[in-house]
Amino acid sequence: MEFSERFILDFNSVVVLKCSITSKYSAVFNSGITVTIGKVDDILEMMLLVPPIFKGAVYSIILL
């Protein structure tokens, strides 16, 4: 297994990636929104990336 190898699952509207060297998973949606979840020490880490096209509409996404 290569250091930079990733495991990829491709669904209809989302691609799920798992990095082989960390405990992180990413879901990349067709809209460009990306959610990354991982384990850092004993804490759950989450990162949300939203494209600029959603600027001004982010408030309604957070409330969901």
Q: What is the pLDDT of residues 11-31, one digit of tens each?
A: 888 888 887 777 889 999 998
Confidence grade of residue 62 (pLDDT, cut at 50, 70, 90) = low
Residues 61 and 43: their CA atoms lie apart, in Å, by 24
Give, in order, the Cα–Cα distances in Å from 50 to each of 6, 22, 43, 55: 22, 23, 23, 8
Residue 17: how many other CB atoms lie within 10 Å: 16
Q: What is the pLDDT of residues 34-57, one digit of tens each?
A: 999 998 888 999 999 988 887 776
- pLDDT at position 64 is 47
Structure tokens at 34: 């990306």
DSSP label at residue 53? G
Amino acid at 7: F
